Structure 1
Amino acid sequence: MSEMQQARPWTRPFDWAEVVLGVVAILSPLWMATDDAAMWTMIVLGALIALDGLVSLARPGLVAGEAVQIVLGALMFISPWVMSYADMTGIAWSSWIIGALTVVAGAAALPMAQAAHRMAGSH
C-alpha cells in the first residue's frame, strides 16, 4: 500500500477488520449461550472496538487509535477469565479469537498509522 493510500481516510484494511470484529463481538450473544456478564462484556468491548476502528478509518494519522485497539483486544482476550465466563465455551472462544485478532490487526496497522502521521506532518 502506498503512503498516499495510507493517509487517505476509509481505505485501511486493518481498521475495517477492527470494525467487523467489533460488530461480530456485539452480535455474538445472539447466537451463543451467555450470561449477563458475558453478554455485556461482548457488547461493550465490541462497540468500543468497532468505534475505535471507525475513528482510525476517519483519521488515518491518529497513531493512538492503533494503541487503543491493541489494549481493547487484550481486554477482550482476558475478559472470559476476568468476567468469569471462561466455562462458557462458545462465547469464551469468541472473546479469545476476537481479542487476539484485534491485537494482531492493531499491531499490523500501527506502521501504517505512523506513516500517515508522518505524511500529514510533512505538509
Structure 2
Amino acid sequence: MTRTWQRWQDWAALVIGVLTALSPIVVSTDTAALWSLIVFGVLIAATALWSLAQPGSVASEYVHAVLGVLLFISPWVFSYADLGGASWTSWVAGVLTVAVGLAALPSANAEHRGLVGQH
C-alpha cells in the first residue's frame, strides 16, 4: 500500500506543473501563451497535489494524462507555435506530464484495489 505524499511520479508532476506555470518568466510569450502555460501549469500542479494526497485516486492520474495532451496541443490551438520557448515548454512539459501520469497508473490501481478490498 502506497502512503500519501510518497509516489515519485506525482512529485514529478508537481515540479512539471510549477515549472510550466513559472516558465513565462523566462520564455517569450504572447497573451495566449502566457495564460496557457500558467493555467495548465497550475492545473497540473493541483492535480499532482490531489494524487499525492490520495494515492488510490486513479482518476487523478488520467487527469494528468489529459492535461498533458492538452498542454502539448495548446501551441497550435492557441496560435503560439511560432514562439519557440513557449512552444517547446508546452511540448516537453506535455509529454512528461502524460508519461508520469501513465507511469503512476499501475500503483494507483493497486492502491485503489487495496482500498476497495477493505470495505
Question: Partner of 2:12 in structure 1?
Answer: 17
Cα distance in 2 for residues equivalent to 1:119 and 1:98 = 31
Structure 1 segments unaligned to the other structure (5+ residues): none
Which aligned segments of 4 or more residues in structure 1 are displaced greater than 3 angstroms? none
Question: Partner of 1:105 in structure 2?
Answer: 100
Aligned to 2:71, which of 63, 73, 76?
76
Taking structure 2 as the reference length, the TM-score comes to: 0.97
Letter in structure 2 aligned against 1:98: A
Identical positions, percent:
55
> SS at the partner of 1:107?
helix
Cα distance in 2 for residues equivalent to 1:10 and 1:122 = 22
Structure 2 segments unaligned to the other structure (5+ residues): none
Query: 1:31-70 to 2 correspondence within 5 Å?
Result: 31-70=26-65
Q: Does 1:29 align with 2:24?
A: yes
> SS at the partner of 1:70?
helix
> SS at the partner of 1:81?
helix
Taking structure 1 as the reference length, the TM-score comes to: 0.94
Q: Deviations over 1:92-114 (max 9, x none)?
A: 00000000000000010011100
Give RMSD over aligned pairs.
Answer: 0.6
Letter in structure 2 aligned against 1:38: A
